[in-house]
Amino acid sequence: MLTFCPVCANVLVVEEGQKCFRFACNTCPYVYNIQQKITNRHYPRLKEVDDVLGGAAAWENVDSTEEACPKCAHPRAFFMQIQTRSADEPMTTFYKCCDMKCGHQWRE
């Protein structure tokens, strides 16, 4: 938790005084003794991550090819190619197992 000086608006630092801890300003003589334990926990909400491949709808109209699934060894997989890097780099091929029970996804 950041605490600011009411005199000059700089950040107060915690330092050890004679008998207790205190907030002190590094630029002006402001000092505030801490009488009790100060806690403040704030857990920020995590940002929702969008599926860069378009989610489940991206796999609706794709073709399949003879590519064995590394997880279940099913002989066919759906595939799509997306340009993930710069234009002079080759496209990335994404695969999804055709076996509906497996559905494993990988890329090449």
Binding-site positions for Zn(2+) read 5, 8, 25, 28, 69, 72, 97, 102
Distance CA 106, CA 96 (A): 7
Instruction: Identify any residues that bridge with 85 across adjacent strands, giving them in sequence order.
Output: none
**Binding residue positions:** 5, 8, 25, 28, 69, 72, 97, 102
Residue 47 CB-half CA count within 13 A: 3
Distance CA 65, CA 107 (A): 14
Distance CA 75, CA 98 (A): 8
Distance CA 23, CA 40 (A): 16
